């Protein structure tokens, strides 16, 4: 199969997003808005067709040797300029270990990019989020990426810097690799550090385990929702495609983050003048 048409990649019978006036799309929007309000997570099961999913997983796995490899212990929060006492949730660090295939490493004709660039999906997501404008990120590194987690790899507890993340699970591991989250654990006015500290100490109250299946499209609001991916077990890798959109047109991710990514990308370091010194 060549995956030239979007119908070969997305299950348009179930998700006719190219017919925005259809009752199916209307119902999806209402279901999605309710799910996001309640759970900060909305899944569209079986969004990508199984043959396309297998193809995309293989395409990504073949690029792992080029990919950025993160191995770091980092805090869940960005630096707010204050100094917090040792043991405070803002200072506690977690393991982050995974490969990330970057936007410019994904082929232009990849089905994953065809999904990302499909206008009806962007328009559906705009309406789902209730935004006036919604644009694909144009970041050469992070607009479209895929995280690949092998045995022992994990994404540590964190909040996302952006409001919303769209992802498609492309391959499940044999064990582990579970997406766990605490919906809306913090708000603009209440950081709720007690609950976060309890979670860091292993308390599972309020921690949900997402039932993500291969091929599902997931819409996740991670700005107020603490989340992580538990360590993967076994030889089969966990592979997830990540799409980045923004209310502003033409967005790139900040240079400090991309410079950090480049440091972890084989081949990029020696050619980047920033890191020659």
What residues make contact with ligand AKG under the rule CB under 6 A?
Answer: 147, 155, 160, 165, 167, 179, 222, 227, 229, 240, 242
Closest distance between Fe ion and the C-beta of residue 134, in Å? Answer: 19
- Cβ nearer to Fe ion, comparing 11 with 160: 160
Tell whether residue 183 is a contact of Fe ion (CB under 5 A). no
Angle between helices 119-129 and 23-39 (to 10 degrees): 50
Burial environment of residue 202 by CB neighbours within 10 A (0 to 12, 13 to 18, 19 or more):
exposed
- Cβ nearer to ligand AKG, comparing 90 with 228: 228
Evaluate the CA torsion angle 202, 236, 57, 263 in order and state its sign. positive
Tell whether residue 180 is a contact of Fe ion (CB under 5 A). no
Q: How far apart are CA 119 and CA 134, in angstroms?
A: 11
Q: Which does 242 bind (CB under 5 to 8 A by kind): ligand AKG, Fe ion, none?
A: ligand AKG
- Cβ nearer to Fe ion, comparing 49 with 186: 186
Q: Which does 148 bind (CB under 5 to 8 A by kind): ligand AKG, Fe ion, none?
A: none
- Cβ nearer to ligand AKG, comparing 165 with 185: 165
Closest distance between ligand AKG and the C-beta of residue 8, in Å? Answer: 25
Binding span for Fe ion by CB under 5 A among 177-185, 198-206, 219-227, 238-246 = 219-227
Q: Which does 219 bind (CB under 5 to 8 A by kind): Fe ion, ligand AKG, none?
A: none
Tell whether residue 123 is a contact of Fe ion (CB under 5 A). no
Closest distance between Fe ion and the C-beta of residue 214, in Å? Answer: 19
Indicate which single residue of 151, 160, 163, 180 sits in contact with Fe ion (rule: CB under 5 A).
Answer: 160
Q: Which does 137 bind (CB under 5 to 8 A by kind): ligand AKG, Fe ion, none?
A: none
Tell whether residue 156 is a contact of Fe ion (CB under 5 A). no
- Cβ nearer to ligand AKG, comparing 84 with 159: 159
What does the DSSP assignment read for the chain?
----SGGGTB-TTT--TT-TTSHHHHHHHHHHHHHHHHHSEEEETT-B-HHHHHHHHHHHHTTGGGSEEEEEEEESS---SS---TTSTTT-EEEEEEEEE-GGGS-TT-HHHHHHT-HHHHHHHHHHHT-S--EE---TTTSEEEEEE-TT-BEEEE--SSS-EEEEEEE--SEE--EEEETT---SS---HHHHHHHHTT--TT-EE----TT-EEEE--SSSEEEEPPEESSSPEEEEEE-EESSTT----HHHHHHHHHTSTTHHHH-GGG--
- Cβ nearer to Fe ion, comparing 3 with 181: 181
- Cβ nearer to ligand AKG, comparing 238 with 262: 238
Binding span for Fe ion by CB under 5 A among 5-13, 120-128, 131-139, 154-162 = 154-162
Residues that bind Fe ion (CB under 5 A): 160, 222
């Amino acid at each position: 199969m060549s995956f030239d048409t979007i119908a070969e990649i997305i299950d348009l019978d179930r998700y006719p997003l190219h017919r925005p006036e259809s009752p199916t799309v209307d119902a999806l929007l209402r279901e999605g808005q309710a799910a996001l309000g309640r759970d900060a997570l909305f899944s569209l099961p079986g969004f990508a067709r199984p043959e396309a999913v297998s193809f995309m997983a293989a395409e990504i796995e073949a690029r792992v040797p080029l990919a950025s490899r993160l191995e770091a212990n980092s805090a869940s929060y960005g630096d707010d300029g204050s100094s917090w006492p040792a043991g405070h949730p803002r200072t506690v660090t977690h393991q982050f270990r995974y490969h990330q295939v970057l936007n410019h490493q994904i082929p232009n004709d990849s089905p994953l990019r065809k999904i990302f660039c499909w206008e009806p999906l962007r328009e559906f997501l705009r309406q789902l989020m209730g935004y006036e404008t919604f644009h694909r990120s144009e970041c050469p590194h992070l607009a479209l990426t895929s995280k690949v987690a092998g045995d022992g790899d994990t994404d540590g507890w964190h909040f996302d810097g952006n409001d919303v993340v769209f992802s498609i699970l492309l391959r499940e591991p044999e064990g582990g690799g579970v997406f766990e989250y605490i919906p809306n654990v913090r708000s603009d006015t209440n950081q709720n550090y007690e609950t976060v500290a309890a979670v860091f100490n292993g308390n599972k109250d309020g921690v949900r385990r997402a039932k993500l299946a291969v091929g599902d499209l997931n819409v996740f609001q991670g700005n107020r929702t603490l989340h992580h991916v538990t360590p993967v077990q076994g030889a089969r890798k966990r592979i997830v495609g990540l799409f980045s959109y923004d209310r502003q047109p033409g967005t790139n991710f900040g240079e400090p983050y991309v410079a950090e990514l480049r440091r972890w990308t084989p081949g990029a370091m020696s050619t980047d003048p920033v890191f020659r010194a």
